[in-house]
Amino acid sequence: MKILLTAFEPFGGESVNAAAEAVCLVRAPEGVTLRRCIVPTVFSDCIRSVRTLLETESFDAIVSVGQAAGRAAITPERIAVNIRDARIPDNAGFCPNGEPVEPDGPATYFSTLPILVLRDAIRAAGVASEISNTAGTFVCNDLMYGILHTAATEGLAARCGFIHVPCTPEQANAHTPPIASMPLDDIVKGLEAALAALQANP
């Protein structure tokens, strides 16, 4: 099994991104070839980075990981929406206000990952996990929607979806007041459990 695992660069003035830190540390389950890709935290460019990879490589699954400040659990996402709407600019300074990701695309896409299975596997590893019904409207949603749209319109066989992870305690303590967080080791453990469950449920 070959899995593409993506994460984002730091954004919003932070020097690290918990998702990228974790993705770099995740160990591939036995029998899985893992391809890691750190994408720009920029609308459209994040999607373009993955599409460029897909021109030369094929995958059985594409799992994108993003940081969700304030969440206390690892949250597989159920739905991506066809909207770009940001309260802060992306890393290129773009701050969209309600425009579509794909002008001719459907309103939503559902994750094609087995999100309930992933949630249960993360919990079984002793890490907090919940299903989230929204990937937001920032760059995380942009990438989730863009990859699912590419899969739907170009006939990709890969299962695709998104997982949000909390900030690390070091990041959280820089906020006033401090926000919810999760140790990096637990984030890595949860993601490894999710990948193992994905392999076990083709």
140 is annotated as an active-site residue: yes
Burial class (CB in 10 A: 0-12, 13-18, 19+), 145: buried
CB 164 within 8 A of CB 71: yes
| Residue 181, both tokens | 């967080």
| 66-120 pLDDT, tens digit each | 999 999 999 999 999 999 999 999 999 999 999 999 999 999 999 999 999 999 9
- pLDDT at position 12 is 87
Query: What is the total count of domains within the chain?
Result: 1
Residue 77 is given by DSSP the state B
**164 assigned to active site:** yes
Question: Of 21, 46, 140, 149, which residue is the catalytic one?
Answer: 140
| 50: Cα separation from own chain's centroid | 12
Indicate if the alpha-carbon torsion angle 130, 188, 16, 20 is positive or negative: negative
130-146 pLDDT per residue, tens: 999 999 999 999 999 99
- Give the per-residue pLDDT at 52: 95
CATH number at residue 30: 3.40.630.20
8 Å CB contact between 69 and 164: no
Identified catalytic residue from 21, 77, 149, 167: 77
Could you say which of 160, 164, 167, 192 is catalytic? Answer: 164
Position 179 scores a pLDDT of 86
C-alpha span between 158 and 1 (Å, rounded): 11
Q: What's the confidence (pLDDT) of residue 116? A: 98
Residue-wise DSSP of 38-50: EE-SSTTHHHHHH
Q: Which residue has the tokens 């998702």?
A: 19
Among 159, 198, 149, residue whose Cα is nearest residue 51: 149
Residues above pLDDT 70, as percent of the chain: 100
Q: What average pLDDT score do residues 176-200 get?
A: 94
Structure tokens at 30: 């036995």
Residue 179 belongs to what domain range? 2-200
Residue 178 has pLDDT above 80, yes or no: no
Q: Encode pLDDT of 14-53 as tens digits.
A: 889 999 999 999 999 999 999 999 999 999 999 999 999 9
Residue 113 confidence (pLDDT) = 98
149 is a catalytic site residue:
no
